[in-house]
Structure 1
Amino acid sequence: MTQESPGIRVSTLELFFDLVFVFTVTQLADTLADDLTLRGVGDVVLILLVVWWMYSGYAWLTNAVAPTNTTRRTLLLAGMAGFLVMALAIPEAFGEYGWIFGASYLVVNVVHSVLFLQAGPGAVRMMRTLGPLNLFAAALVLAGGFLPEPWRHLCWIAAPLVQIAGGYLHAIEMHSITAGHFVERHSLVMIIAIGESIIAIGLGFRDVHLDGGAILVAVLGLCIAYYLWWCYFAGDDKRSEEVLANAADPRRRSRLALNAWGYAHVPMLLGIVVSAVGIKKTVGHAFEPLHWGPALALGGGVAVYLLGHAVFLRLLRLPGIVFRVTAAVGVLATVPLGHVLAVAQLAAVPIIMAACAIAEDYPRIRRLGPTAIGDFGRTSS
């Protein structure tokens, strides 16, 4: 059940929904900043997995069922409310607010199933398998909110495993995917997430004296965010839309959408969160050595993002993989530098990313001639 309607784009209501969802990025960054340990990272990964699965589910939903009437809009508002309450509960999702997170997550799942049942007979048959599995995963998250350890974490680990299984057990070819809308929806949430990470960094400047070091950290943090943007949006978003649109077989198109825009986006979002924490930890300490944890968060977060995008490109058979992997290795190698001087690592990371961006784009600029020099970093389309 595949269709292609280039004129269908993301509505302002969907963008509003994305703004609510991306609040989770700020909450995850704040939560990890307060507990920058292996356990803290593990908890953030588990929360991101279950939250992203349902956000992605809503992206697939509105791709098939546009929020064009009052009933659908009201239900989508209920889903937004669920995401908002979930985000508010994130700092204590494995503590006293676990049941609140779980109850909100269940609401999000119920609304998703109800709306998807309006997408036609094919969607009804598809949701006979996917719907119960999603609700079972939500029930596991809710149960974890009431159970003591280690059962709480075991329930949370089981939930994304059930969701991943659901991605393979239901009739994925029954999904209706409009490539333009689908790619634009995920592109918007990525740019919002990068912007939200800057807000998370900015919150670290509260009660910090704005001297030269603080301003330098802010500018360098912005440069890192810029190259995260460049990596994703310097033409690959348009090329990826073409790849998805040209996948004529319904099963292949749906599987490509799940793998590339579902699974491959998880490390990119995780990288945004972790790198934001690393930058935030340098605020007020620009000319001091970083502890290993913040230094690893800064270099490792950017590296995870780049490797996630390399996987994305590999799935779509697009060029640029070598440059992403090379940049990831380079920024990861800056971790010892941060342990010597924070600002040195902060400067080295965007320099490495810029060098790889120039190396990737230079052949195109050379082919197009001198007039393309001013267009560096813009899409070739």
Structure 2
Amino acid sequence: MPASVRHRRSLLRTPDPHGHAKVSFAELFFDLVFVFAVTQLSHRLIGHFTLEGVLQTLFLMLAVWWVWVFTSWVTNWLDPELTPVRACLFAFMLLGLLMSGAIPEAFDGRALMFAGSYVGIQVGRTLFFLWAARGGGPVLVRNFQRILTWLACSGLLWIAGALVDEWRLPCWVAALSLEYVAPSLGFAVPGLGRSATTDWAISGGHLAERCALFVIIALGESLLVTGATFSSHDVTADTALAFVVAFAGSLALWWLYFDTTHDLATGRIAQSQDPGRLARLSYTYLHLLIVAGIILNAAGDEFVLAHPMGPTGLQTAVCVLGGFGLYILGVGLFKWSVMGRWPWSHAVAIGVLGLASLGADRWPAVLTSAVACGVLVGLAAWERHSRRLAG
């Protein structure tokens, strides 16, 4: 049977000779749900800035990212231009909207709504893939049989935790831990063996572009928070200054990732002999730090805009300095994973932010934000200059 017929029957993408399958409009439409999810996470963090609230929001962010990135892996293989795959994506959009809507009360009255939607996406997507990939090759099908086993086990824990209040935290932590550790263990299942990264024949360029688009989603949320907060306050010299600094910070975040990192990393994974290994570490795990840093910084922008000339409180320092620091760490680790060396410029930038935190409580909030923004701009300029010298 010709390869094109086999791929069409199994709903798999036709392999791209350049290793960069096109991102479809259906995938971009699916991502719109996660614009709402990131907004919900940001607002929850701002409204519940206690140790418990921050940890709960972090947990929910990990869950939201895992749903999105697993779906991106699946659409790396399945062809979203085909009607059954599109219908599947749209069904999971609906579940994703329910999951996102439950985020503010996920640990309270809407626990079952959150957990049920989450499990519905994770398990339902895997079942659909096993049906859609029929005839697509035993290695790929066996991989997803292993994945289904792990997700079914974690799904039971998600639902049990949603139904029983006192079990919720331990069950949900155990469930998400299972899902996060599974890829590093090759989804090992007795009788089914374990997957090797070389089994994951992916389009590296496609997954790199998908993750870059999620970074754009998170940056868009940062701009949304900045604009909405600014419009809700009287326009004064102080708020105008804070608004400009917050906008400059978002530009610096974009600059460091897209101007000095993304293209290089995309080229490396597209040409890699084992793109599955790079995709698992660099894009599935390490991008979490990048996205978390953006969300944390977005909360910091709101705190600064609310009281630009007020003292830098603990929550403002954590969100502004910690958010930029987490982002820089994430981008640095991402570069290390694709280039094989740690960029020491990032360590210097994190060190400067650490020194700034020692005196930030004596500064107005807008100055703390400006210092953090200046560090990021300096780092991005340093990296761009280094690339020019290397080139």
TM-score, normalised to structure 1's length? 0.89
Does the 8 A contact of 1:4 with 1:177 survive in 2?
no
What does residue 158 of structure 2 align with?
141
Amino acid at match of 1:15: L
Residues of 1 paired with 2:243 and 2:156: CA distance? Answer: 42
Deviations 1:208-261 (A, max 9, x none): 11212112111111111111111111142111122112221xxx4212211100
Match of 1:65 in 2: 78
Deviates more, 1:164-173 or 1:284-293: 164-173
Match of 2:98 in 1: 85
Whole-angstrom distance in 2 between the partners of 1:127 and 1:75: 17
Residue identity in the other structure for 1:327: A
Amino acid at match of 2:50: T
For 1:200, give the aligned amino acid.
V
Given that residues 144 and 155 in structure 1 are in contact (C-alpha distance below 8 angstroms), is that contact kept between their aligned partners in structure 2?
A: yes
Written as runs of structure 1 = structure 2, the 5 A alignment for 1:1-381 is 5-6=17-18, 8-117=21-130, 118-119=132-133, 120-121=136-137, 122-149=139-166, 151-167=167-183, 168-170=185-187, 171=195, 172-205=197-230, 207-248=232-273, 252-317=274-339, 321-340=343-362, 341-365=364-388, 367=389
| Shift in CA distance, 160/202, structure 1 to aligned 2, threshold 3 Å | same
Paired with 2:347 and 2:268, the residues of 1 have a C-alpha distance of 22
Match in the other structure for 2:7: none
Q: Deviations over 1:353-379 (max 9, x none)?
A: 1122222223455x59xxxxxxxxxxx
Q: Distance in 2 between matches of 1:357 and 1:236?
A: 10
| CA gap 1:92/1:5 in 2 versus in 1, 3 angstroms | farther
| Matched residue, 2:5 | none
> In the alignment, what sits opposite 1:372?
none
User: 1:140 is paired with a residue of what secondary structure?
Assistant: helix
Amino acid at match of 2:328: L
Partners in 1 of 2:231 and 2:115 — Cα distance? 32
Q: Alpha carbons of 1:83 and 1:166: their partners in 2 closer, same or farther (altered >3 Å)?
A: same
What RMSD, in angstroms, separates the aligned Cα atoms of the two structures?
2.2
The 3-state SS of whatever aligns with 1:204 is helix
Change (3 A) 1:318 1:166: closer
Matched residue, 1:377: none
1:320 & 1:175 partners in 2: Cα distance?
A: 26
Q: Which runs of 5+ in 2 are unaligned?
A: 1-11, 188-194
Whether the aligned pair in 1 keeps the contact of 2:200 and 2:276 (CA below 8 Å) is yes
Deviation per residue, 1:171-202 (Å, 9 max, x gap): 14332311221111111111121112221333
Alpha carbons of structure 1 residues 343 and 322: separation in structure 2 relative to 1, 3 Å: same
User: Closer, same or farther in 2 for the Cα pair 1:299/1:229, shift >3 Å?
Assistant: same
Distance in 1 between the 2:260 and 2:377 partners? Answer: 16
Unaligned stretches of 5+ residues in structure 1: 369-379
Of the structure 1 ranges 158-167 and 57-66, higher mean CA displacement relative to structure 2 is found in 158-167
Tell whether the 8 Å contact from 2:221 to 2:298 is kept in structure 1 after alignment: no
| Counterpart Cα distance in 2 of 1:205 and 1:351 | 21
Letter in 2 for 1:323: S
Conserved in 2, the CA contact under 8 Å of 1:286 and 1:342?
Answer: yes
For residue 123 of structure 1, give the secondary structure of its aligned residue in structure 2. Answer: helix
SS at match of 1:333: helix
More off after superposition, 355-364 vs 210-219: 355-364
- Report if aligned partners of 1:323, 1:357 keep a CA contact under 8 Å in 2: no
Inter-partner Cα distance in structure 1 for 2:35 and 2:176: 19
- Which residue of structure 2 lines up, in the alignment, with residue 376 of structure 1? none
Q: Is the 8 A contact 2:312 2:368 kept in 1?
A: no
Query: In structure 2, how many angstroms separate the alpha carbons of the residues matched to 1:245 and 1:284?
Result: 44
Is the CA contact (8 Å cut-off) linking 1:138 and 1:159 kept in structure 2? yes
Q: Percent identity?
A: 30
The one-letter code sitting in structure 2 at the alignment partner of 1:210 is V
Q: Distance in 2 between matches of 1:359 and 1:83?
A: 40
User: Moved runs in structure 1, 4+ residues, more than 4 A?
Assistant: 1-4
Instruction: Report the Cα distance in structure 1 between the residues aligned to 2:318 and 2:244, rounded to whole angstroms.
Output: 20
> Aligned equivalents of 2:254 and 2:148: distance in 1?
34
